[in-house]
Structures are given as structure tokens and as C-alpha cells.
């Protein structure tokens, strides 16, 4: 089943006990690099990824199917999938046999779940001292909040990322319109595993990685913590403006159409002069108070209102092209339809990769955002496909990886273990 | 003194060259976090990021930029003009010693330097070169001028972030670009992933690589359900205040507390949550009917009406206590809630102190260490990564690095006379 071509993570087997976005995003990266990622799931709430049951779903088919979620398909491309009932002792024994043959375990269950099964790092490292165990939790596995529960939005709130996003008081925070920290923590999960694999090459030893989503958010809070220490002032929101340079106008401006906007960032007086010319040099724009960056910054409210009067009659892509020709950073606020249908760059670079899934057929999957001259990576991973059906690879894993005989596999199925 | 942290030696012995502008600095910093020797080539004027605020003291002082300080931890600074003809010998020697080059900027300038890296790869085929440019090194948008803001716009982040629409479904507020520098964060995370992939592949093949990271694609890759919603259902998610963008309006998560702050009350709207919230209301002395037959009947008759009723009671609960009080009480009962904090607030929190999340580093302010939020993982007890030192002063390591390359003092002085350092 495995493709013979060499890949960066050839020979690396990852046991994947992850759910939702953060964990699956980490293992997706590892699968893209050629690791053999085996998703372990079961038909109960603790072990089934709820993403299998939420929209968007491929229209038609069995409405109770666990294999029709588009987001799940996107996040779990390139992986194998098995069923294993970890709540039974036989299931845990099989799991230990898998661990004995694995390089990496990734999981983002509730913080104490694995210990409650007797499958914490101390137990598993006895079985396999080279094991790299990545555990992703909201707040980390040590410290006062080690038992606190969290999802991406919880961590975003606590870390400061929610507060920092949005228009200034008295408006509330806008926060993030999705679980940004699920994505980011997934990236760091993969990065830490890749670093640990590098170190293991030298030392022969594995390690435990207790990765915190909230701490990831703090790492991504820019200069806020430093500035607060210097000034003693609490971090404020500033909308789309640029508080650290005299860039103005700097924001999103309404264009022609329904909820269509363009982002414009004027960074110096020369660009402003070009912008004024593009607007047809209206009288207001030639006023002395707007001629220099400091004046535009001082009068930013008025400036933004006047710029918006100009942009509201403009088609956003045409305006982008005209401004870009004048050397001005400008781009439309693109929603998903825009990126899928109207973005020639993503199309040119082959950003969407068609991959088959065994029940729903072939759909576009978002690829890794880089081109390599030599290193072979593929979002379809070793199986060369999108996400696995639940239990799709039981036969391969239990027969070829664990070496079980057909009658043993049948008995395990009969006993509701796999 | 070497600061011990288990994975801070993961890249021990590896040499990473960093050139270009602010777009790739975070990637270089992450390599320093894992123990690589990261040598930043800034040129004699210094990196443009030394001019990015906020500043610790007066503006435009290149040694006072908090931005530079934040994104250049653990690096060495060399003022060699990388493309200067007189720098050829130094580049050549550097190329034979280096493992990785990170270069970022506009595609034109990066591509010009890629030719130099190809020369370096002639003598060192193991060299991995990673470029970070707005759209990658090819394609119709390759040369567009971009900033963090315009990347977040075109990459789809802003379309999902902002405030609720008006009752008629139209918006009177703009899409929001979440602060700060997130497009560059996302791109650099992917650059680091890509370089690690190439490092692992090099172990198998002995060969380096040229990696072309597109900031636009990286940002596009980071918008969760937005793209699948369109691909599979032709649905567009609509931005909402303080919660996920969604195809259809959802109930609020942000709740105002009695200290004028907010709690993010993430909910599944389950019966279990209603029961727990009922307990919390009772403990707070607030009357409620969540355990009554009438509420159960309401939920059965109209789940939406039941949720609305519960929603109002959550508002009352929030208004009865402070944000942190509600955060801890809710978590004690297993709810996935948190107070909406400013990042620096966490410095004094015993949880983050115990985990060593903030690492003190000397340098920017005389006589006083600043605390940097740089640790995101532990080994169960201690942080897994740490920086050996803060950001470098301009040219702090020029002579040291050039000497290590075998360039004599006389040659260094000649480079200086020719304007290459």
C-alpha cells in the first residue's frame, strides 16, 4: 500500500489520537512530509472526532455517514484510519503493541484521559523509549490550570489574541472568526515533533512534549507584552490601523457590491501622492493637512471617511490593479469563494490539489503552501488520498503492521475491540 | 552560561543564515529557539525592522525597536552587505559552513539573491535555501506590493473576522485584521516546517534544496472551515462578534462581567451545560428556572427559545461577578470558558510562572531584564526551549563571525574600506 518513493519522514510512524483541528493539523503536516500517520478512532464520544459529524458535508449519501465532512476531509488528508476501542483492556493492549512499533504519538484528548487508561508518557516510554509523545492541551499539563478544559477560542481569550483583535473601546473585541490557535498549535505540534526527531537521530531517545495552546497564543501576541512592560499601559485594540508607523490610510474600505472591501496600506508620502492622483486629485485630498504622514495620522478618522467615499463606487479587483500599478499595497478582502474562483495566483501555484476519498470521491484539498525543488512532499501523504473513512485501514494496520492473523482480526471485531 | 532546555539543542551545530527583511525574522528566531546558530546579515544600515515600532525610548533609534527585539532573539548580527562584490569570498566560505539560508522580501530582490545562493550550493550541495515572499517566486501576483494587512485581506482571514451584521444581514463595520503581524507569523511557521522537512530529507539523500514559501498561500491555508464550506456546500461564512464566522447566525460567546471586562463563554448549548449553569446561578444567588418543568418543556417545544432563555441567564451570571472569578468558577465545573485577558496580564498568573512561559532576557533596558513570552511547551516540568540571549545590537558579531570564517583582520579591514561591512 505504501508508495516506495523516499520522502522526508520515511520510516516515521505516527499514532494519531487527535480530534477537531489542532491535533489533526499537526499530524496532517507530518503526513504531508511522508510519515505513516495512523488515526485511531472509536464509535464513542471520547474517541470519535466530532468533525466527522459537522458541516460542511458532501450533499447526498447516507445522512448518518461519518465520512462526508468536508473539513474533516481537508484536515486529515494523507492519513490511515483504524478503529480501536481503547476503553476495553484488549483495546489498550493492542494500542501498546502499536506504540511499540511507532516513532511518534500525537494526542489532544482531555488532559487526564490517557493517564486514566494507564497510557501516560511514563507508561508508554517503558514500552518504547524512543517514543516522541506530543500532547496538545489548552493550558498545558503542568501548572495551576493543568486540569482546565479548553478549545481554540478559550485559549485565544486567555492568551490575549481575542482582546487585541478589533476596533478600540467602547467596541467589544472582534477576536478571531475561527480557531486560529487550533491551526497555529497544530503547526507548532509538527515543528516540535520534527525537532525532537532531529534530536533523536543523535541521542536515540524520545521525549514528551506538553504543548499549550494558550502559550502558543502568547508567543503570537507580537510586541504587546514588551510594550506593556516598558510603558506600564495595558494593550489596546487599534482596529485595522497601524499604530507603530505613520502609515495612513491603513484599513479596509467598502467597495461596490455587497460586503465587498479593499485593504489599502499607504506607507509614505510618495504613495499618498500616487493615491491622490488615482482618485483624480479631489480638492479634499490635496489639503495640506493630508500632505504628510503625520497629518494624515492626526486626521485619520476624517481621512478614512473620505477615502471610503471614493472606494465605495469602485470595483475592488480593478481598484487593486490600478493601485498596485502605482506601487501601493492594496488587495481585496477575499472570502473563500473569491479564493477558490477568482484568485489566479492560487490557481497558478496549484494550491488546491484534487484527492480521492473512498466514499465521497475526489475533492480539492488545500496543499502545503510552498514549492520544493527536491524534497518530495504531498498533502496526500503515503496513501495518496484525502482523509480515511472510519476504520478504512483496519486490515492494513492490524494485518501488516501488527501481524495479526485473519481469524484474530475477526475475533477482535466480534468482541467490539476494533 | 548556557541555558539548558531539552529541545534547545535539537539543531545544535546547525548554521542558519538570515537575510532579507522583516517577513522572515520570526522563522530565524524559531531556529535559534531550537539551538541553531542564526547569523543575521543586516548590511551596514541595519535591518529595516530596526525602524519598526513600538520603541522602548525615542523613535528611529535602531537599538530601541521592540519589534526588532521581539523577533530577533538568540541571533547574531553581522553588517556584511551580502550582495557587495567584495563580499564574495566571505559568502563562499559562509556557504560551505551553512546548513540553511532564510531569505525574505519582495520576489525581485529575493530572486536576485537566490543566484548567489546557487553559487553557494555549488560548493555545498547540502545547503537548504528557503525564500519567503508575498506570493512565491512565480505566478501572476508575484510582484504585487503587500503588507501584513493586505495579506490578511487577500488570504481570507479578514473575511472571517469582525462584528455581527445588522438585523437585515448587512454590515456597518469592516472586516478586521487581527493584530499583530499574523500573516508573517503564519508564513514563518510554514517556512520552519518546510526547512525541517528538507533537513530530514537531507539525512536520507545528502542533498539540500530550494524552498519557495508563499505568504499568500500560507495565510490561505489558515482559515479553518471557510474554504471547505465553500468547496463542499458553496456556502460563505459570515463574520460575527467575538466568535466563529458561520453560514448562519449563532449565539454570542462574549459576556460582559461586572468589572467591565469580558468572558468568552464557549458553549455547545447542551443539557449538561444548562444544568451546570443552573448550579452556578444558584451559587451566585440568582434565581432561575433551569431545573423546572417549564424550562424543559420550552426546550422540547422550541430548542431555539430554550437557548435564548439560557442565553439571557448566562448574561445575568456574567454580570454578577468579575471576569476572572467567572473564568475559574466555570472551569471548576468543566465549562470551556475563559476571561478575555490582555497578554501581559498572564505574566503575574501563577500558572504561567510555574510553567516558565515568560523568559527573562537582558539587553534592551539597562539594568533590567524584560520578560518575553517565548515558551510554548514543557517536558512535563521544565520548558523545552529557551533562548541563550536577546536580540543582537547592529554588527555585534561581525568580527567574530568573519574571523570564524577564516577571514583575517587585514581582510576584514579591507571589507570595511570597500563599504562591504
ipTM of the complex: 0.97
CB atoms within 10 A of CB A61: 12
Domain extent for B15: 6-222+357-417
Please, what is the end-to-end C-alpha distance for chain B in angstroms? 29
Residue B174 CA: distances (Å) to CA of B4, B28, B153, B165, B169: 47, 34, 11, 10, 14
Residue A225, domain member (yes or no):
no
Residue A153 confidence (pLDDT) = 97
Q: How far apart are CA B268 and CA B274, in angstroms?
A: 10
Extract the C-alpha cell encoding B132.
Answer: 519567503
Give the domain-ending residue among A296, A321, A341: A341
Q: Which residues 247-276 on chain A approach chain B with CB closer than 8 angstroms?
A: 250-254, 258-259, 261-265, 267
In angstroms, the separation between the Cα of residue A187 and the nearest Cα of chain B is 7
A350 interaction partners in chain B (CB closer than 8 Å): none
Residue A285 to residue A179: CA distance in whole angstroms? 40
Q: Looking at the structure, do residues A139 and A189 belong to the same domain, yes or no?
A: yes
Domain CATH code at residue B384: 3.40.50.10540
What is the mean predicted confidence (pLDDT) over A392-400?
Answer: 97
Same domain, A84 and A113: yes
Q: What is the pLDDT of residues A144-192, one digit of tens each?
A: 999 999 999 999 999 999 999 999 999 999 999 999 999 999 999 999 9
Shortest Cα distance, chain A CAs vs residue B196, angstroms: 6
Where a domain ends, among A299, A323, A341? A341
3-state secondary structure of A286: helix
Q: Residues B252-268: what's their mean pLDDT? A: 97
Which residues in chain B are closer than 8 Å to A212, comparing Cβ atoms?
355, 357, 376-378
Last residue of a domain, one of B311, B340, B369: B340
Minimal C-alpha gap between B407 and chain A (Å): 31
Q: How many domains does chain B have?
A: 2
Q: Identify whether the C-beta of residue A193 lies closer than 8 Å to the C-beta of residue B197.
A: no
Contact check, Cβ <8 Å, B342/A160: yes
Assess if residue B48 is contained within a domain: yes
Q: What is the pLDDT of residue A2?
A: 40
Identify any residues that bridge with B240 across adjacent strands, giving them in sequence order: B243
Q: Does residue B335 sit within a domain?
A: yes
Residue in chain B nearest A360 by alpha carbon? B232
Contact A226 B372 (CB under 8 A): yes
The CATH number of whichever domain residue A54 belongs to comes to: 3.40.50.10540
Within this chain, do residues B370 and B297 fall inside the same structural domain, yes or no?
no
Please tell me the predicted confidence (pLDDT) of residue B40: 97
pLDDT in tens, A83-134: 999 999 999 999 999 999 999 999 999 888 999 999 999 999 999 999 999 9
DSSP states of B37-82: EEEEE--TT--GGGG-S-BSSSTT-TT-BHHHHHH-TTEEEE---T
Domain finish residue from B314, B340, B366: B340
Q: Which of A345, A373, A376, A378 to substitute to test the interface with B, most B CBs within 10 Å?
A: A345
Better pLDDT: A55 or A342: A342
CB spacing of B149 vs A250 below 8 angstroms:
yes
Alpha-carbon dihedral sign for residues B146, B149, B152, B153: negative
Which parts of A128-278 fold into alpha helices (H)? 152-159, 161-164, 180-203, 213-219, 224-231, 269-278
Structural domain contains residue A276: yes
Q: Which helix (H) or strand (E) holds A24?
A: helix A22-32
Find chain A residues with C-beta within 8 A of B138's C-beta.
348-349
Both B89 and B175 in one domain: the answer is yes
What band does B1 get if pLDDT is binned at 50, 70 and 90? low
Q: Is the pLDDT of residue B227 over 70?
A: yes
**Is there a contact between A239 and A167 (Cβ–Cβ < 8 Å)?**
yes
For residue A295, is pLDDT > 80? yes
Of A175, A197, A324, the CB nearest to B200: A197
Could you tell me the pLDDT band of residue A1, with boundaries at 50, 70 and 90? very low
Closest of A301, A300, A303 to residue A286, by C-alpha: A303
B353-379 pLDDT, tens per residue? Answer: 999 999 999 877 777 899 999 999 999
For residues B330 and B395, membership in a common domain is answered with no
Residues in chain A with CB shorter than 8 Å from the CB of B67 are 223, 244
B246, part of any domain:
no
Q: Evaluate whether A211 touches B376 at the Cβ level (below 8 Å).
A: yes
Q: What is the pLDDT of residues B62-118, one digit of tens each?
A: 689 999 999 999 999 999 999 999 999 999 999 999 999 999 999 999 999 999 999
| 8 Å CB contact of A363 and B350 | no
3-state secondary structure of B290: coil
C-alpha B375/C-alpha B367 separation (Å) is 23
**pLDDT value for B366:** 72
* Chain B residue with the nearest C-alpha to that of A194: B196
A15: three-class secondary structure by DSSP: strand
**A154 and A286 share one domain:** no
Q: Please indicate whether, in this complex, the C-beta atoms of A150 and B336 are within 8 angstroms of each other.
A: yes
Beta-carbon separation of B237 and A336 below 8 A: yes
Find the CB nearest A21 among B135, B224, B352. B224
Percentage of residues of chain A with pLDDT beyond 90 = 94
- DSSP E strands: which ranges in A199-342? 207-212, 250-254, 261-265, 329-332
pLDDT band at A344 (very low <50, low <70, confident <90, very high): very high
Domain that holds residue A405: 13-219+348-414
Do residues B160 and B11 share a domain?
yes
CATH code, domain carrying B273: 3.30.1540
Which of A85, A41, A190 minimizes the C-alpha distance to B30?
A190
Domain boundary among A341, A357, A380: A341
* Residue B137 in grid coordinates: 517566486
Check whether B277 has a pLDDT greater than 70. Answer: yes
Nearest to A156 by CA among B242, B311, B36, B163: B242
Higher pLDDT, B182 or B92: B182
Same-domain status, B214 and B258: no
Cα separation, B247 vs A17, whole angstroms: 29
- Sheet with A329-332, side-by-side order of all strands: A250-254, A261-265, A329-332
Cβ neighbours of B188 in A, within 8 Å: none
Q: Is the pLDDT of residue A288 over 60?
A: yes
On the question of a cis peptide bond just before residue A182, with omega within 30 degrees of 0, the verdict is no
CB contact under 8 A, A154 and B338: yes
Residues of A designated as active site: 182
User: A332 with A356, same domain?
Assistant: no
User: How many C-beta neighbours within 10 Å does residue A286 have?
Assistant: 11
Quote the CA–CA distance of B325 and B401 in Å, as a whole number: 53
Query: What distance in Å separates the CA atoms of residue B297 and residue A225, rounded to the nearest whole number?
Result: 49
pLDDT computed for residue A5 by the predictor: 64
H or E element that contains A201: helix A180-203
Cis peptide before A265 (omega within 30 of 0): no
A399 phi and psi, to 5 degrees? -85, -50
- Return the percentage of chain B with pLDDT > 90, whole number: 93
pLDDT over 70 for what percent of chain B? 98
Q: Taking chain A, what is the end-to-end CA distance rounded to the nearest angstrom? A: 21
Total number of domains constituting chain A:
2
Residue B326 forms part of a structural domain: yes
Chain A nearest-CA residue for B365: A230
**Radius of gyration, alpha carbons of chain A:** 25
C-alpha distance from residue A82 to each of A25, A394, B134, B327, B343 (Å): 18, 5, 40, 37, 40
With an 8 Å Cβ cutoff, is A410 touching chain B?
no
Residues of B whose CB is below 8 A from A221: 180, 343, 373
Nearest to A224 among B130, B204, B343 (CB): B343
**What would the mean pLDDT of B179-202 be, rounded to a whole number?**
97
The contacts of residue A299 (CB under 8 Å, 6+ apart) are A289, A290
| Residue B134 and residue B281 share a domain | no
What average pLDDT score do residues B211-219 get? Answer: 98
Please tell me the distance from the alpha carbon of residue B384 to that of residue A209, in angstroms, as a whole number: 8
Nearest beta carbon to residue A33 from set B171, B190, B197: B197
Which one of B237, B340, B349 has the shortest CB-CB distance to A173? B340
**B54 found inside a domain:** yes
pLDDT in tens, A201-232: 999 999 999 999 999 999 999 999 999 999 99
One domain, residues B98 and B18: yes
Inside any domain, residue A256: yes
Task: Return the pLDDT at A3.
Answer: 41
- C-alpha cell at position A179: 480557531
Return the residue in A57, A331, A338, A357 with the most chain B beta carbons within 10 A, the one to mutate for interface testing. A331
Number of A to B CB contacts under 8 A, please give it.
Answer: 514
Amino acid at each position: 500500500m505504501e508508495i516506495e518513493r523516499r520522502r522526508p519522514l520515511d520510516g516515521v510512524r505516527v499514532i494519531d489520537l487527535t480530534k477537531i483541528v489542532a491535533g489533526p493539523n499537526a499530524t496532517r503536516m507530518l503526513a504531508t512530509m511522508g510519515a505513516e500517520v495512523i488515526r485511531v478512532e472509536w464509535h464513542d464520544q471520547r474517541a470519535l472526532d466530532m468533525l466527522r459529524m459537522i458541516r460542511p458535508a458532501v450533499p447526498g449519501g447516507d445522512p448518518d455517514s461519518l465520512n462526508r465532512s468536508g473539513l474533516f476531509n481537508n484536515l486529515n488528508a494523507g492519513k490511515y484510519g483504524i478503529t480501536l476501542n481503547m476503553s476495553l483492556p484488549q483495546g489498550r493492549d493492542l494500542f501498546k503493541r502499536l506504540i511499540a512499533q511507532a516513532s511518534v504519538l500525537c494526542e489532544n484528548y482531555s488532559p487526564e484521559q490517557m493517564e486514566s487508561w494507564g497510557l501516560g508518557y511514563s507508561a508508554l516510554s517503558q514500552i518504547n523509549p524512543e517514543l516522541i509523545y506530543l500532547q496538545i492541551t489548552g493550558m498545558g499539563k503542568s501548572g495551576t490550570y493543568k486540569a482546565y478544559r479548553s478549545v481554540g477560542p478559550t485559549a485565544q481569550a486567555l492568551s490575549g489574541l481575542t482582546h487585541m483583535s478589533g476596533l478600540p473601546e467602547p467596541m467589544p473585541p472582534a477576536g478571531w472568526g475561527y480557531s486560529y490557535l487550533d491551526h497555529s498549535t497544530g503547526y507548532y505540534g509538527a515543528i516540535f515533533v520534527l525537532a525532537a526527531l532531529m534530536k533523536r537521530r543523535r541521542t536515540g531517545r524520545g521525549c514528551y512534549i506538553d504543548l499549550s495552546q494558550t502559550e502558543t497564543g502568547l508567543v503570537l501576541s507580537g510586541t504587546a507584552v514588551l510594550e506593556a512592560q516598558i510603558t506600564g499601559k495595558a494593550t489596546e485594540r487599534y482596529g485595522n490601523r497601524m499604530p507603530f508607523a505613520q502609515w495612513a490610510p491603513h484599513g479596509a474600505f467598502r467597495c461596490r457590491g455587497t460586503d465587498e472591501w479593499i485593504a489599502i496600506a499607504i506607507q509614505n508620502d510618495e504613495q499618498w501622492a500616487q493615491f491622490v492622483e488615482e482618485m483624480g486629485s479631489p480638492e479634499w485630498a490635496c489639503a495640506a493637512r493630508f500632505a504628510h504622514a503625520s497629518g494624515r495620522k492626526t486626521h485619520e478618522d476624517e481621512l478614512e471617511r473620505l477615502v471610503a467615499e471614493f472606494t465605495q463606487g469602485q470595483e475592488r479587483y480593478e481598484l487593486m490593479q490600478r493601485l498596485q500599478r502605482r506601487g501601493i499595497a492594496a488587495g481585496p478582502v477575499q472570502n473563500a469563494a473569491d479564493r477558490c474562483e477568482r484568485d489566479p495566483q492560487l490557481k497558478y501555484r496549484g494550491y488546491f490539489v484534487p484527492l480521492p476519498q473512498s466514499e465521497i470521491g475526489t475533492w480539492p484539498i488545500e496543499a502545503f503552501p510552498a514549492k520544493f525543488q527536491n524534497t518530495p512532499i504531498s498533502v496526500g501523504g503515503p496513501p495518496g488520498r484525502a482523509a480515511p473513512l472510519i476504520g478504512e485501514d483496519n486490515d492494513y494496520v492490524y494485518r501488516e503492521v501488527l501481524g495479526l492473523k485473519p481469524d484474530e482480526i475477526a475475533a477482535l471485531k466480534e468482541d467490539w475491540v476494533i | 552560561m548556557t541555558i539548558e532546555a531539552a529541545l534547545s539543542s535539537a539543531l545544535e551545530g546547525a548554521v542558519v543564515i538570515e537575510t532579507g527583511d522583516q517577513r522572515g525574522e520570526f522563522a530565524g528566531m524559531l531556529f535559534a529557539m531550537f539551538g541553531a546558530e542564526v547569523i543575521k546579515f543586516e548590511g551596514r544600515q541595519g535591518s529595516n525592522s530596526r525602524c519598526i515600532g513600538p520603541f522602548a525610548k525615542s523613535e528611529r533609534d535602531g537599538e530601541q525597536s521592540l519589534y526588532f527585539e521581539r523577533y530577533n532573539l538568540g541571533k547574531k548580527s553581522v553588517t556584511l552587505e551580502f550582495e557587495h562584490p567584495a563580499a564574495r569570498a566571505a559568502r563562499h566560505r559562509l556557504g560551505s559552513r551553512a546548513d540553511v539560508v532564510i531569505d525574505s522580501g519582495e520576489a525581485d530582490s529575493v530572486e536576485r539573491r537566490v543566484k548567489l545562493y546557487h553559487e553557494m550550493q555549488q560548493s555545498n550541495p547540502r545547503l537548504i535555501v528557503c525564500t519567503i515572499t508575498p506570493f512565491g517566486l512565480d505566478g501572476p501576483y508575484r510582484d504585487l506590493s503587500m503588507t501584513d494587512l493586505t495579506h490578511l485581506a487577500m488570504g481570507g482571514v479578514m473575511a472571517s473576522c469582525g462584528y455581527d451584521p445588522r438585523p437585515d444581514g448587512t454590515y456597518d463595520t469592516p472586516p478586521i485584521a487581527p493584530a499583530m503581524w499574523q500573516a508573517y507569523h503564519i508564513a514563518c511557521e510554514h517556512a520552519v516546517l518546510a526547512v525541517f522537512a528538507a533537513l530530514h530529507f537531507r539525512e536520507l539523500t545528502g542533498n539540500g534544496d530550494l524552498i519557495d514559501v508563499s505568504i499568500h498561500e500560507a495565510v490561505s491555508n489558515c482559515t479553518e472551515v471557510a474554504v471547505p464550506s465553500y468547496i463542499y456546500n458553496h456556502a460563505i461564512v459570515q463574520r460575527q462578534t467575538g466568535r466563529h464566522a458561520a453560514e448562519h447566525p449563532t449565539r454570542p460567546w462574549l459576556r460582559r462581567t461586572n468589572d467591565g471586562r469580558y468572558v468568552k463563554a464557549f458553549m455547545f448549548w447542551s443539557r449538561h451545560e444548562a444544568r451546570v449553569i443552573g448550579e452556578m446561578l444558584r451559587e451566585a444567588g440568582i434565581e432561575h428556572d433551569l431545573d423546572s418543568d417549564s424550562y424543559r418543556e420550552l426546550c422540547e417545544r422550541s430548542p431555539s427559545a430554550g437557548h435564548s432563555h439560557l442565553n439571557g441567564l448566562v448574561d445575568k451570571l456574567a454580570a454578577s461577578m468579575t471576569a476572572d472569578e467567572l473564568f475559574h468558577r466555570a472551569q471548576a465545573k468543566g465549562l470551556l470558558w475563559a476571561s478575555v485577558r490582555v497578554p501581559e496580564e498572564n505574566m503575574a498568573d501563577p500558572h504561567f510562572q510555574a510553567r516558565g512561559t515568560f523568559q527573562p532576557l537582558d539587553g534592551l533596558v539597562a539594568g533590567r531584564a524584560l520578560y518575553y513570552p517565548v515558551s510554548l511547551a514543557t517536558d512535563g516540568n521544565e520548558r523545552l526551549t529557551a533562548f541563550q540571549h536577546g536580540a543582537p545590537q547592529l554588527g555585534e558579531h561581525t568580527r567574530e563571525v568573519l574571523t570564524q570564517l577564516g577571514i583575517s583582520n587585514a581582510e576584514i579591514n579591507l571589507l570595511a574600506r570597500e563599504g562591504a561591512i
